[in-house]
Amino acid sequence: MVDLSGQFAASLKRASRWVKLVDGRVPALVIRPIEAGDQAVPFLLWFHGRTVTKELDSGRYLRLMRAGVGCVAIDLPGHGERLDPALQDGARTLEMVLAAASEIDAILGEVGALGGFDTARVVIGGMSAGGMVAMVRGCRAHSFSGMLLEATTGDWRGQRARPMYREEFVAAHNPIDHLDHWREIPVLALHAAEDEWVALDGQRRFIDALKARADHPERIALHAYDHTGAPHEHMGFGKMAADAKERGTAFVCGCLGVRAPPPAQA
C-alpha cells in the first residue's frame, strides 16, 4: 500500500485504502467505516482542486466516516499519484476537468466491484476545479443523490480574465449552458464572497439557473462566507473551514438519509 496519509487520525488511516482504478490509471483514496462490517455504505465521490491531492481533506473524510458514510477521493489528471506538472498549469484547467469527468462512470463501476459500497447512494462533489468536474458530469444522465460544491463555478464565462478560459471548451461544456439533461437533485454550494480566483457571481448565476428550473428550489442552496482569511479567499475557507466541513457533512448525510454526527474539530 502507498502510504500518503500524512496527518490522518489513526482511526481514519485504519479505514483507508489506496487503490488504482480504471485499468490502473486513476489513483483513489477509498475510505470505508470499519464499523460497517459487511454492510454496503453510501459514499461521497470527491474531487480536489488544482495543484493539491486527494489526501488533503482528512477533516472532511473523518467526519463522514464517523457518520457511517464512505468516501472515494480521486487524484485529478496530472495530480498526486499521477503527477504531470504540465496538467497543473492554470491554462489547462478545463482540459483537465473534462478528462476527469470522462472517467467518472468507469470509477463508479470499479468502486462497485470492490464491494462494501452502495453505488446507488452516492453524493458527488468537489472543490474549485474538482467542483467543475462534478457539474460537468451532472449535465448528463446520472443517479447521484446530491452534489456538494465548494469555491467553484458553473458559469465558466465569469472566468474570462483567468488563464483557464478557453472559448472552445466553454462553448461546448459550460454547465450553465447545458442544463437540458440536468436531473434535479439537492445541491449545496459553499463560497467565499471575496474569492479572488473564482468570483461568487458566476456560481450564484449557476445556482439561480438550477433553482429556476427546479420543482423543489428549497433543496438547492448557496452559502457565501464573508471574509475568511484564507489565501486569496479561495483555499480552504480559512477561519470558516470547520463550519464549511460541518455544513458539508450535514448536507451529504441528509442526501443519503444518514444522521450526521455531532460537530467535532478535526
Tell me how far apart the alpha carbons of residues 68 and 56 are, in angstroms, rounded to a whole number.
20
Tell me how far apart the alpha carbons of residues 109 and 128 are, in angstroms, rounded to a whole number.
25
144-182: burial string, b at 16+ Cβ within 10 Å, e else: bbbbbbbbbbbbbebbeeeebbbeebbeebbbbbbbeeb
- C-alpha cell belonging to residue 90: 492554470
Q: Residue 44: beta bridge partners? A: 71, 123
Segment 8-48, tens digit of pLDDT: 999 999 999 999 999 999 999 999 999 999 899 999 999 99
In this prediction, residue 266 carries a pLDDT of 46
Contact 99, 77 (CB under 8 A): yes
146-150 and 117-127 beta bridge pairing: parallel
Contact 266, 59 (CB under 8 A): yes
Select the CATH number that applies to the domain covering 10-256 from these four: 1.10.10.10, 3.40.50.1820, 3.40.50.2300, 2.40.50.100. 3.40.50.1820
- C-alpha cell belonging to residue 34: 470499519
pLDDT of 260 above 90: no
Please count the other Cβ atoms lying within 10 Å of the Cβ belonging to residue 4: 16
- C-alpha cell belonging to residue 60: 472532511
Please count the other Cβ atoms lying within 10 Å of the Cβ belonging to residue 223: 13
In this prediction, residue 1 carries a pLDDT of 40
Segment 84-119, tens digit of pLDDT: 999 999 999 999 999 999 999 999 999 999 999 999
16-21 and 26-31 beta bridge pairing: antiparallel
Tell me how far apart the alpha carbons of residues 220 and 49 are, in angstroms, rounded to a whole number.
22
Residue 218 burial by Cβ neighbours in a 10 Å radius (0-12, 13-18, 19+): exposed
Contacts from 229-238 at CB under 8 Å and sequence distance 24+? 230/192, 232/195, 232/196, 232/197, 233/192, 233/193, 233/194, 233/195, 233/196, 234/128, 234/151, 234/192, 234/195, 234/196, 234/197, 234/198, 235/49, 235/151, 237/150, 237/151, 237/190, 237/192, 238/192
Segment 142-186, tens digit of pLDDT: 999 999 999 999 999 999 999 999 999 999 999 999 999 999 999
Segment 230-253, tens digit of pLDDT: 999 999 999 999 999 999 999 999
Note the pTM of the prediction, 2 decimals.
Answer: 0.95
Segment 40-72, tens digit of pLDDT: 999 999 999 999 999 999 999 999 999 999 999
Question: Residue ranges of the domains in the chain?
Answer: 10-256
pLDDT of 187 above 70: yes
Q: For residue 146, which of 30, 257, 26 has the smallest C-alpha distance?
A: 257
Contact 124, 170 (CB under 8 A): no
Q: For residue 24, which of 112, 136, 118, 110 has the smallest C-alpha distance?
A: 110
- Give mean pLDDT, residues 185-199: 97
